[in-house]
Structures are given as C-alpha cells and as structure tokens.
Structure 1
Amino acid sequence: MRAHLAAQDDDIIEKPIDEWTAGEKRKENLDNVAKDMLYKMLDKVTFSKTKMCKTAKEIWEKLIQLCEGNEQTKENKLFVDVQKFDNIKMRAGESMHEYDERVSCIINEINALGTVYTNKEVALKVIRGLPKE
C-alpha cells in the first residue's frame, strides 16, 4: 500500500513517503505485517502466484480466486459433490469407519459450498448406502 493522491481522470499519483501522515504510515505498517503473515503461510507454488500483489488485500483476493474459484466453479464443484453424495455406497471390504469418513468428507465439501443437509438426510443416505448383509 502506498499513500496516493487522486488526480483528474482517476489517475493515481503516489505521494512521497516524507509527506505521509502518521495514519498513512500506520496503515502501511499494518499492511506490511499482514502481507508478511500471509506469505509465511503459503507454499512455494502459491507464493509464486501471489508475489506480484502489492497489498495484503490483493493477496487475499488472489488466494480466494485460487482456492475457491468464481461462482461458476463453485456451482460445478457443488454439482459434482452432490452427485458423489447421491451415489455413495459402502464398498466391499470397507469398514464402517472408512465409509463414515468418506461420507463426512463429501458432506464437509458440500457444506463449505453453502449447501447444508440435515442430520436426518445424511443418516438416511448412509443407511441406504449400506450393503444388504
């Protein structure tokens, strides 16, 4: 973040650092701290995709785009996860614990995308997915 002066025609002119107010200096420092914290949490691949961002807000928005995608991507992910949930069956040789883990993973993915199944719906699906024996 740099202190800017708005000019005509929405051009941005960078304000010299020696003219910054105490509030602008504080905001710049907080932004640097936030950027540092975000960068320390990233792996090398993700860092390389965000290193050109100038502010912590830009980094955060880029991470959202990289991790969550746009609305169309979210809809596609939700569609695939709902299909997985609708078609889930306990596999031959799979333990009840393993089956429960698979169901829980799918439900967590669906919940993260904004759709919530009731406990009753999940329980019924789990029971229907069990083998007859």
Structure 2
Amino acid sequence: EMKLKDLKAKNYLFQSLDKSILKTITQKETSKQLWDSMKLKCRGNARVKRAQLNRLRRDFEVLAMKQGESITDYFSRVMTVANDMRNYGEDVDDVKIVEKILRTL
C-alpha cells in the first residue's frame, strides 16, 4: 500500500518536471528523496538568495513613477518588486508599500 502511494507520488512529480531537471533526480528511490532533491535544486544557496534580496531592496528604494506612466502601471511595478522581496523572506508590510507609492508619485 505505501509502496504504491510512493510510486504514484513519484509519477506525479515526474510528470510535472522539466526534462532537464528530471535527468538529474531520477536516481532517487522514494518520493520524499525526490521532493527534497527538487527543493535543494530550486532553492539556491544562501549567498545567491542574499544577493537577489539586496538587489530587490535596491530596486524598491529607487522605484519612482516614470513620466507618462499610469498609476496602475506604477502600482503594479511596486507590487511586483515587493512580492519578489516577500518571496525571498523579506518582511514588507503594506504600510511601507503605500508610503513608497505616495512618496514617489
């Protein structure tokens, strides 16, 4: 029963992966090992993540509304950077985002 569930889980994972990634992880025996391997490959190392977060912080700080840009487009740009920062673990609260938008209109 457990072996069958594990095989089904591995099958679902294999179906959802790009072939280039699949080639590097097919030797894993269980779905748990496969999942853990995928997490490591997609996570990146700490230094790369820190560098990406620093770049996003800098991007957020220098964001300003462009000449002729609609408020909707500017809001979308700010939210994209803020959400990317959140995805890297940064605590970006809504107040900070609203203040940023109002300061740079």
| TM-score category (smaller protein) | 0.7 to 0.9
| TM-score computed with the length of structure 1 as normaliser | 0.69
Aligned to 2:93: 118
Which residue does the alignment assign to 1:23? none
Structure 2: state its 5+ residue gaps.
none
1:70 aligns with 2:45: yes
Task: Find the counterpart in structure 1 of residue 75 from structure 2.
Answer: 100
Partners of 1:109 and 1:79 lie apart in 2 by 11
User: Counterparts of 1:101 and 1:124 in 2: how far apart (Å)?
Assistant: 15
Q: Secondary structure at the match of 2:65?
A: coil
Shift of 1:126: 1.2
* Deviation (angstroms), 1:88: 0.9
Task: For residue 122 of structure 1, report the CA deviation from its aligned partner.
Answer: 0.7
Matched position secondary structure for 1:109: helix
More helix by share: 2
| Sequence identity (%) | 27
| Count of aligned residue pairs for this structure pair | 105
Instruction: Give the aligned partner of residue 129 of structure 1.
Output: 104
CA distance in 1 between counterparts of 2:22 and 2:68 reads: 42
Is 1:36 paired with 2:11? yes
Quote the residue 1:8 is aligned against.
Answer: none
AA aligned to 1:105 is T
CA shift at 1:35, angstroms?
0.8
| Residues 4-47 of structure 1 deviation map (CA, whole Å, 9 limit, x = unaligned) | xxxxxxxxxxxxxxxxxxxxxx3322211111111111122222
TM-score (norm 2): 0.84
